[in-house]
Structure 1
Amino acid sequence: MGIATVAGFFAEVGDLSRYQHPRQLQKLAGLNLKENRSGKHRGKTRITKRGRPQLRALLYKVIRPLVAKNQAFKALHMYDTTRQQNPLRKQQSLIALCCRLLRIMFVLARKEVDFDMNKMMKATPLCSQILPLTA
């Protein structure tokens, strides 16, 4: 990610000390899930899109090259789309990865630590089989 991306993220989000949990940022971006339901009818589950469209677009524009170039995100995308139980479609996987990126950025900014690919991959079961961890 570049400086412009990080600056755009903080311009949309503001001070991260106002948020206690990354789910609040996910809701701010409009990436939280909502099921369309009425009575006995259960419709599709989609993202709400009730948040900031610029933040949602920024995350999506960042995740596309990450999935193409970064080995860790490529492995996560492959895992999401090819898993045995409940495989996601490609677009659903990209949105799920946007949420994961949002959580990663939240933790990196709040705790002021560097990104560790191995730590991220250990948190995802079975993904380490797709991408071998390096020492």
Structure 2
Amino acid sequence: MNSTQNERINQITSSTLIVGVDIAKFNHVARAQDYRGVEFGKPITFGNTREGFELFVGWYQKIATAQGFQDVIVGMEPTGHYWLNLAHYLRENHVKYGIVNPLHVKKSKELDDNSPSKNDMKDAKVIAQLVKDGRYAIPHLPQGIYAELREAMKIRDHLTTDLCVVQARVHNWLDRYFPEFLTVFKDWECKSAIQMLSLYLLPHELACVSDETLLKHLREAAKRGLGLGRIQMLKAAASRSVGI
């Protein structure tokens, strides 16, 4: 047991109400206990809405008042991104909270009843027990410009991944249907190449289109530098294409 875990255990005393929350997309389940594992009140199911969060806070505050607890800590499993709304709400209301490792939840369930199966009521109890044992972490939720920067980085990563997927697909399509295309246009991402690809024609169809029609279409994107010679090269390549 490391010193950090010891510090967290020491923060939980006989006057601390421990609340475990099983997070879901629409409705969460919570159970409350003390440092010995004695449970108080009935489990509550509340929605992922402001009204649901207010119901949840009122529920554990009522238990804390009735049982004489002086402070509360809420533990939750960081399921996807669904936990973030509750975490931000608790922080705004100055409620102490922590997150537990999903692997610890799974292993602890196996120890309790020899079954790792998913059960919201059981999971909420297991999460509370992990918090009791100091097996939780305090997440860092950036605010203001730092939160915006983190979100911007995530969006950039997603866009970069999506771009790579699209580029790979286009390469695959060219290799299959018109492998000679890149002998005429060295870079399919240039304006003129994309303009020709936007016709959505297979090689045998492209070869039947008049030079003037293709040149007019090409000039809509590339005003200079490309002429009839490039069009004729493309049609010649299309007529000899081995694309499927």
Same fold (TM over 0.5): no
TM-score (norm 2): 0.20
Specify the structure having the higher radius of gyration (Cα). Answer: 2
TM-score (norm 1): 0.31
**Between structures 1 and 2, the one with greater helix share:** 1
- Which one has more relative contact order, counting CA pairs under 8 Å at least 6 apart? 1
